[in-house]
Structure 1
Amino acid sequence: MAPGAVAPTKSSNLLGGREFPPVTWFKDPGLRKLYLLLGTVILVSATNGFDGSMMNGLQTVDNWREYFKPSAAQRGLLNAILSVGSMCAIPISPWLADWRGRRVAIIIGIFVMFTGVALQSAAVALGMFTAARFLIGFGVSLAHGAAPLLVTELAHYQHRARITSLYNTTWYLGSIVAAWTTYGTFNIKSTWSWRIPSILQAAPALVMLTFIWLVPESPRWLISRDRPDEALRILAKYHANGDEHDELVQYEFTEIKETIALEKEVAKGGISELWATKGNRHRMLICICAGLFSQLSGNSLVSYYIGDILNQVGITDVKSQNLINGCLNIWNMIVACGMAFAVDKAGRRPLFLCSTAGMCLMFICWTIASKYAVENKSKSAGSAVVALIFLYYTCYNAAWSGLLVGYTVEILPLKIRARGMAVVFLFVNLALFFNNYVNPVALQDISWKYYIVYCCWLAAEFVFVYFFFVETRYTPLEEIAAYFDDPTAEKAMQRVHETIDDSHIDEKPSKMEA
């Protein structure tokens, strides 16, 4: 068991084997400012959510369909091209985040996104619209590869799991804005019915660009680049309101510095480091499967092709389809945000297992209801499909929405964190590409029978999660390595604790009390 894996009490939390008082973030000026700034960083995911819901909505808008006249295969490519752009940026993203820092990678990604949105909004042909979406995907991937690292590496250790899990839930914030914008513009009798939603896709990026200059750099990245003084100042400013001698700040700083030094000692160097040890191979297996499972669980059917699904079951009115899409995204946001605050209390494994089992059960019921709705033209079965979509997403959002990023980013040590997250997003985008190219064709050719594939796949997901996902709750970031690596990892942590004990840190109480 990792040294810090002890449930917090009302009076203490553990870090480096020492007890510290719990922190109420909204009562502390430094943390209030930090989390306000990080709240803008997590909007990177909102851009992705906006795109998914916008494309869902545009495919129900008559003016968009008549203007571009896409075939089923072209629609698949149009949706999949965002993933292609993202995958093309993945080799660059971790290198940029490690070389120039997390903030610079986000800023470059934002500017590429702006270029793509401008071209998409001004599109006069399907090819131009498609190329613009490639650029949006490229920019999102650059920012996406750095933003969760910055969030988890800046957050106070007592709040890290919750705020990192919130990162991916902002997908629904963008999705809600897009869904209701499309609902409000679909009756406009001109190309502005789809150009307005497209322009608004720049909104999350605009907010990020406004505030990113105020966001501090990751102290862990600074220490890895031999800039410890800057790292200490940032930790002190936001975790102790500027007091560099605060006991908590000194413990955080020492543990981070010693852990990074130890990682450098055993590092293999190069891409092979991702699979060089048994622990890293376990991490990569989880990262690859988490990326695939997050998109191959049936959720992308609704994210991009809800119009096709509803048409199948007899709900053909465009207004009703957009209304269902808008309400679904609001519900998803509520559930996903609520569950993000439960990750420490409930634990990662229980949430993943319950979520995956629930999705499998709901999908089986969804498949049965779809059969009756399609073959018997049953209106009640069609209504049941809508209800089951809501129940399915309730299960999905119990874990996979927030913990896709929250869990994978925390199990990766700093040395491979950027590259490991690139692996996660690579497999997310491979799954999205497959879904967006195959789903419309499969739905058209074999209708509800296509859902049987997902029922079987979800059962296989549950088995994998049960045997390979490990519990990490209540464990500080630098101490999670003990769950994955051989006994030398625990010896490494002992060295960290010895260094902390020998550093003669003043044992005055931390100022940050609830």
Structure 2
Amino acid sequence: MGAGAVTTAGGSGNEAFAHLMDPNRKWYNNRRLIALHGWIVLLLITSSINGFDGSILNSFQSLQVWNDYFGTPAGGRLGLLNAIQNIGSLAGYPFAPYLSDGLGRRPTIWIGSAIMLVAVVLQSAAQNWGMFIGARFLIGFGLTFAVNSAPLLVTEIAYPKYRASLTSLYNALWYSGNIIATWSTFGTQHINNNWAWRIPSILQGIVPVLQFLLMFFAPESPRWLISKGKDEQALQTLAYYHADGNDQDPLVQFEFQEIKSAIDFDREISANVGWKSLIATPGNRRRIIIIVAIAFFSQWSGNGLVSYYLKVVLESIGITSATIQILISGILAIWNLFWAVAASFCVERFGRRPLFLTSAFGMLLAFVFQTVCTARYNIAPTGASAHAVIAFIFIFYAFYDLAFTPLIVSYTVEILPYSLRAKGFNVFNFTVSVALIFNQYVNPIALSHIGWKYYIVYCCWLAAECTFLWFMIVETKNLSLEETAALFDGEGASTNLHNATREVRHEDFDEKASDSAYTGNNDLKA
């Protein structure tokens, strides 16, 4: 959180808020912040489950024993296998935001982990096609609850200085699951029985086990607590993790009052925060248009070809060895993690808009060259053309990871006000699943019928993405969760929230700030 609409004389809200943070309080030299970041890691690795599950079938397709056991799925049957997890996610979406807003962030994650544990057992012990498909449906169903709440809890409990980077890290860690899935399968590929795929399936249960055992020891969202009238508990949570337990700390008081004022203001202007609220105002409509668009773009930028059908893509350029296919996939996963994590720590330095635009235009160029090189290989097969295709796949993903890995989740949750955050993020996840299901069904069929010419469709789509992002993405650099209201809802919303928080007197903050060690470092950004 940062300095919402409240301002002090002589500076913006951000400057005032930065003034209240202790410049000596770093995450690595404060045991409370170390503990907080430990809990945040437990939340961030929810994305690892998603990455593991999204990658495991790509590796299984290269295992002969898996293909023998399940009859070498292809075409629509292969599409169903890849899509069934997202179909399971769709089944969970109607319930996820109500659990997240009703029961709380922590219980919702715990419920999702419990469901996924059951699914992992079923998948690891699968005896037939139906049992395997059912397990994957259940994984998607449980994952919906976890991924709906985990990033919300990260952004709502993070220390203000680190919020943007930590929330961006959430989706970046998708690739950590990708790495485990790919390299575990690379290690088991020489096992000449079904343990070659059962062992990686078992590893998928590591994160759900940790969350199942530890989740209720983690802090609950102060915003959720305040929304349920548990103000004292929210204040103590903020104080414990953000100010060494001092509930009179000016930073804690500032955060507490701004959250409380923003939530009270939301209640006053919108007694009904149901689904219609997502499109009830011009500001909310713009939010939803952006959210739906970047959700589609995250799956429809050509990345789905490599993420789910790398085997088919590599075979189209003459690479048929299962070992080489899995090796390329494993190296690509490490490459992606590097770029995604690096980008996560640059979101406040460079801003969201420059990263989105650089990512989109870079992907367009890389995919055009990948298409040209694939066409050349199909006309006159050469090793140089094949190697060029692989190189441009890596270049494409470097650009993709600048924005469409770290920012799609963090940008979505930060532009939504608290009252709509769970529902709006649920719309984002729903859209991703719909886009994935379409991709997973259509891609293998299109590749089998028109081959590399299908890449041209994505070249055109990427050009459309660049145009949309140029006109629609709003910069939110160095703004708090509450402060973005002025960007989407107009200055009137900012003024009204300012008036709602006037009870927090500026002189009180100035007095507390001068009496404490938290003075004068306006270079710190919320």
The 2-side partners of 1:459 and 1:427 are apart by: 21
Q: Which amino acid aligns with 1:27?
A: N
CA separation of 1:131 and 1:17: change in aligned 2, threshold 3 A: same
> Contact 1:296–1:435 (CA<8 Å) still a contact in 2?
yes
Task: Please give the per-residue CA displacement for 1:116-139, whole angstroms capped at 9, x wherever unaligned.
Answer: 111111111111111110000011
Q: Which amino acid aligns with 2:305?
A: L
The 2-side partners of 1:236 and 1:17 are apart by: 17
Partner of 1:354: 358
1:230 deviation in Å? 0.2
Q: Which amino acid aligns with 1:196?
A: I
> Contact 1:13–1:21 (CA<8 Å) still a contact in 2?
no
Q: Which amino acid aligns with 2:91?
A: C
Matches within 5 A, 1:278-297: 278-297=282-301
Higher mean alpha-carbon deviation, 199-208 vs 313-322, is at: 199-208
Partner of 2:383: 379
Task: Please give the per-residue CA displacement for 1:209-240, whole angstroms capped at 9, x wherever unaligned.
Answer: 23312211000000000000000000000000
Partner of 1:501: 505
Partner of 2:121: 118
> Contact 2:148–2:422 (CA<8 Å) still a contact in 1?
yes
The 2-side partners of 1:354 and 1:128 are apart by: 44
| Secondary structure in structure 2 of the residue aligned to 1:269 | coil
**Structure 1 gap ranges (5+):** 7-11
1:510 deviation in Å? 5.2
Counterpart pick for 2:370 among 352, 366, 373: 366
Task: Please give the per-residue CA displacement for 1:392-447, whole angstroms capped at 9, x wherever unaligned.
Answer: 00000011101010111000000000000000000000011011111111111111
> Contact 2:223–2:259 (CA<8 Å) still a contact in 1?
yes
| Secondary structure in structure 2 of the residue aligned to 1:158 | helix
TM-score by length of 1: 0.96
Identical aligned residues as a percent: 45
1:165 deviation in Å? 0.1
1:17 deviation in Å? 8.7
CA separation of 1:118 and 1:273: change in aligned 2, threshold 3 A: same
Task: Please give the per-residue CA displacement for 1:64-84, whole angstroms capped at 9, x wherever unaligned.
Answer: 001101232111100001111
> Contact 2:314–2:320 (CA<8 Å) still a contact in 1?
yes
Task: Please give the per-residue CA displacement for 1:230-253, whole angstroms capped at 9, x wherever unaligned.
Answer: 000000000001001101100100
Task: Please give the per-residue CA displacement for 1:133-183, whole angstroms capped at 9, x wherever unaligned.
Answer: 000001111110001110000011111100000001111000000100010
Matches within 5 A, 1:105-504: 105-267=108-270, 268-501=272-505, 504=508
1:500 deviation in Å? 1.8
Task: Please give the per-residue CA displacement for 1:64-112, whole angstroms capped at 9, x wherever unaligned.
Answer: 0011012321111000011111111111000100000000000000011
Task: Please give the per-residue CA displacement for 1:429-486, whole angstroms capped at 9, x wherever unaligned.
Answer: 0011011111111111111001101111011011111111100011111111110003
> Contact 2:106–2:149 (CA<8 Å) still a contact in 1?
yes
Partner of 2:10: none
The 2-side partners of 1:169 and 1:487 are apart by: 33
> Contact 1:17–1:497 (CA<8 Å) still a contact in 2?
no
Task: Please give the per-residue CA displacement for 1:261-301, whole angstroms capped at 9, x wherever unaligned.
Answer: 00110113321111111111011111111111111111111
Partner of 2:32: 30
CA separation of 1:3 and 1:224: change in aligned 2, threshold 3 A: closer
The 1-side partners of 2:221 and 2:121 are apart by: 31
The 2-side partners of 1:387 and 1:5 are apart by: 50
The 2-side partners of 1:5 and 1:362 are apart by: 45
> Contact 1:255–1:496 (CA<8 Å) still a contact in 2?
no
Counterpart pick for 1:73 among 71, 76, 79: 76
> Contact 2:80–2:441 (CA<8 Å) still a contact in 1?
yes
CA separation of 1:511 and 1:18: change in aligned 2, threshold 3 A: closer
> Contact 2:4–2:258 (CA<8 Å) still a contact in 1?
no
The 1-side partners of 2:378 and 2:185 are apart by: 27
Q: Which amino acid aligns with 2:15?
A: L
CA separation of 1:510 and 1:295: change in aligned 2, threshold 3 A: farther
Q: Which amino acid aligns with 1:485?
A: D
| Secondary structure in structure 2 of the residue aligned to 1:500 | coil
The 2-side partners of 1:272 and 1:219 are apart by: 26
CA separation of 1:138 and 1:511: change in aligned 2, threshold 3 A: farther
Higher mean alpha-carbon deviation, 222-231 vs 374-383, is at: 374-383
| Secondary structure in structure 2 of the residue aligned to 1:159 | helix
Counterpart pick for 1:59 among 58, 61, 83: 61
| Secondary structure in structure 1 of the residue aligned to 2:62 | coil
1:206 deviation in Å? 1.9
1:495 deviation in Å? 1.6
The 2-side partners of 1:14 and 1:116 are apart by: 48
Higher mean alpha-carbon deviation, 63-72 vs 214-223, is at: 63-72
The 2-side partners of 1:318 and 1:15 are apart by: 58
Q: Which amino acid aligns with 1:241?
A: D
Partner of 1:14: 15
> Contact 1:37–1:211 (CA<8 Å) still a contact in 2?
no
| Secondary structure in structure 1 of the residue aligned to 2:15 | strand
The 1-side partners of 2:396 and 2:518 are apart by: 41
The 2-side partners of 1:494 and 1:476 are apart by: 14
CA separation of 1:5 and 1:254: change in aligned 2, threshold 3 A: closer
1:5 deviation in Å? 12
Structure 1 runs of 4+ with >4 Å offset: 2-6, 15-19, 509-514
**Structure 2 gap ranges (5+):** 8-12
Partner of 1:102: 105
Partner of 1:9: none
| Secondary structure in structure 2 of the residue aligned to 1:145 | helix
> Contact 2:375–2:452 (CA<8 Å) still a contact in 1?
yes
CA separation of 1:207 and 1:56: change in aligned 2, threshold 3 A: same
> Contact 1:16–1:255 (CA<8 Å) still a contact in 2?
no
The 2-side partners of 1:284 and 1:510 are apart by: 42
1:502 deviation in Å? 6.2
